[in-house]
Amino acid sequence: MPHYGPGECPFESAFLVLASRSDERVLSQATVCSSDSLPMTWIREYLENVVAEMEKVNWPGRDELISSTLITIVATLIVSGFIFLADQVIQRILEILYRV
């Protein structure tokens, strides 16, 4: 696939890729333009890149997933309870103010 310089390709796309390499972060910019701008070619290349990136993902283990889910549920219940109580207090205050 030919690579064109900036401004030479009518379908120029710039991709900023931030990839973790051990402890350092690598920022690279790649400009890619295909001579055949068929949509299926771009879609196929995109999906191949998606699959390649998904293979690099560090998926959580079962124990980590369960503990993270429980933390999320508990935090949601706490925040929901706080919002409920705040709503009840505000409602009572407004009832008192409207009676006066």
Predicted local confidence at residue 4, as pLDDT: 52
- The residues spanned by each domain of the chain are 13-56, 60-100
Predicted local confidence at residue 39, as pLDDT: 73
Predicted local confidence at residue 5, as pLDDT: 56
Q: Which residues of the chain have pLDDT under 50?
A: 10-32, 34-35
Predicted local confidence at residue 29, as pLDDT: 39
Question: What whole-number distance in Å separates Cα of residue 30 and Cα of residue 8?
Answer: 14
Whether the predicted model's global pTM rises above the 0.85 cut: no
Predicted local confidence at residue 75, as pLDDT: 98
Predicted local confidence at residue 90, as pLDDT: 98
CA quadruple 78, 80, 85, 88: dihedral, nearest 10: -170
- Three-class SS state of 37: coil
